[in-house]
């Protein structure tokens, strides 16, 4: 794995105790684990949540998220800084918002900045800039989404998500004591999504559903993804060394070729909606054709014209992403009236296959 990039994301409940204190032992374990692989030449990017929760410990639980984040971020980074100083590890801090990804010029600058730091053996510590973008469309929504965006942007080979749970279970382990850990997943499909609550975890914004969506996109473009209990010391080291721990999501393709423009489009994916297509459209897309309305079976979710939307098959498996020429409302109206003849929904130049 020398010179490869690994993105590690750590959640609020993993880094902060229920009483609001920082889990110093977790930070010590993370820093030690990352330092070891970085010494062997691996390049690491660390995404950390926890700023809002820490800010509310200091200012009160009803403090607005943007205010809490601006106060808590200083304390959060300082905790990493203190442990990294002891380990002789150099840090850099990034607070990101969506325009750094969706704007092409900023995206290229971001790649250059991160790679320059990684070339010098510096560990970037990343969080969303909640102080400025909370509850706006400049937000990534949660750090699971930010993690997969950075993994795609930086051509990472793997993504490790450190949670306060052991991984993905076949049922909710907090409600069913007989729930079984799913150790490996070949494909993140709609069957797996049913195991996940849409409720975010207490103190965080992600939850398992968000982690699965991130794993689905990451593995679709060849990034091996792990969900691991980061509260347990040694688990991150096991994941980094390839030992069996947590849930491992195998990449759909290990040799997928993606241009940097396509990487930007995938990272900038700005819609949770999708378009389900029929068999004829699937064949046409595999031949490099544009997506026509006649091949659409259903529209899922909402999106606007010129947003990046996922194309899925009948089993809800992602097959491509593309910039759509019509809104979800307009496409539904076409389907309702069957006014579909030769209407182009996505041009072939704006479609990225992930199969």
The reply to whether 271-353 shares the fold of 5-249 is no
For residue 6, the cross-strand partners are 44, 158
Q: CA-to-CA distance for 28 and 30, rounded, in angstroms? A: 6
- Expressed in angstroms, the distance from the first to the final Cα of the chain is 25
What percent of the chain is modeled with pLDDT above 90?
50
Closest by CA position to 88, among listed 159, 151, 35:
35
Mean pLDDT over the full length of the chain: 86
Torsion of CA 151, 152, 154, 160, to 10 degrees: 20
Is the Cα dihedral 265, 267, 271, 272 positive or negative?
positive
Q: And the tokens for 259?
A: 């241009």
Task: Confirm whether pTM is higher than 0.85.
Answer: no
Three-state DSSP state, 249: strand
Question: How do beta strands 123-128 and 91-96 pair?
Answer: parallel
Q: And the tokens for 209?
A: 């559903």
What CATH code is assigned to 5-249? 3.40.1160.10
Question: Using an 8 Å Cβ cutoff, are 54 and 22 in contact?
Answer: yes
Using 50, 70 and 90 to split pLDDT, how confident is the model at 234?
very high
- Residue predicted with more confidence, 41 or 266: 41
Q: Is the pLDDT of residue 195 over 60?
A: no
Three-state DSSP state, 212: helix
- The pLDDT value recorded for residue 245 is 93
Q: CA-to-CA distance for 314 and 281, rounded, in angstroms? A: 11
Q: Where are the domains of the chain?
A: 5-249, 271-353
Question: Using an 8 Å Cβ cutoff, are 68 and 76 in contact?
Answer: no
Rounded mean pLDDT, 318-344: 85
Element (H, E) at 296: strand 296-300
Least confident range from 116-120, 132-136, 237-241, 292-296: namely 132-136
Q: Is the pLDDT of residue 272 over 70?
A: no
- Residue predicted with more confidence, 233 or 301: 233
Closest by CA position to 324, among listed 291, 296, 280, 353:
291
Question: How do beta strands 274-277 and 296-300 pair?
Answer: antiparallel
DSSP 81-128: HHHHHHHT--EEEEEE-THHHHSHHHHHHHHHHHHHHHHTT-EEEEEE
Q: Is the pLDDT of residue 1 over 90?
A: no
Using 50, 70 and 90 to split pLDDT, how confident is the model at 355?
low
What CATH code is assigned to 271-353? 2.30.130.10
């Amino acid at each position: 794995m020398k010179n490869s990039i690994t993105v590690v994301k750590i959640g609020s409940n993993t880094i902060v105790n229920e009483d609001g204190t920082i889990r110093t032992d977790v930070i010590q374990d993370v820093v030690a684990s990352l330092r070891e692989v970085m010494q062997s030449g691996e390049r690491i990017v660390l995404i950390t949540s926890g700023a809002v929760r820490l800010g509310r410990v200091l200012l009160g639980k009803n403090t607005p998220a943007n205010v809490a984040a601006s106060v808590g971020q200083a304390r959060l980074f300082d905790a990493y800084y203190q442990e990294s100083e002891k380990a002789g590890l150099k840090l850099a801090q990034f607070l990101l918002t969506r325009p750094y990804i969706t704007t092409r010029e900023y995206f290229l600058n971001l790649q250059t900045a991160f790679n320059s730091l990684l070339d010098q053996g510096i560990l970037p510590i990343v969080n969303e800039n909640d102080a400025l973008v909370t509850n706006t469309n400049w937000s990534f929504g949660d750090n699971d989404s930010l993690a997969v965006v950075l993994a795609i942007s930086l051509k990472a080979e793997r993504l490790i998500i450190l949670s306060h749970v052991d991984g993905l279970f076949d049922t909710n382990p907090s409600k069913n004591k007989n729930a079984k850990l799913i150790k490996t997943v070949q494909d993140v499909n709609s069957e797996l999504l049913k195991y996940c609550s849409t409720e975010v975890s207490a103190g965080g914004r992600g939850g398992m559903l968000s982690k699965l969506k991130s794993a689905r996109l990451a593995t679709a473009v060849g990034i091996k993804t792990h969900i691991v209990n980061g509260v347990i010391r040694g688990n991150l080291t096991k994941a980094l060394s390839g030992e069996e721990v947590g849930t491992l999501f195998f990449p759909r393709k290990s040799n997928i070729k993606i241009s940097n423009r396509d990487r930007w489009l995938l990272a900038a994916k700005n819609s949770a909606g999708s378009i389900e297509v029929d068999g004829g459209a699937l064949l046409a897309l595999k031949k490099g054709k544009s997506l026509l309305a006649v091949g659409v079976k259903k529209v899922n979710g909402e999106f606007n014209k010129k947003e990046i939307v996922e194309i899925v098959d009948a089993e809800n498996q992602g097959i491509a992403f593309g910039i759509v020429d019509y809104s979800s409302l307009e496409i539904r109206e076409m389907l309702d009236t069957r006014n579909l003849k030769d209407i182009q929904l996505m041009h072939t130049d704006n479609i990225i296959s992930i199969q």
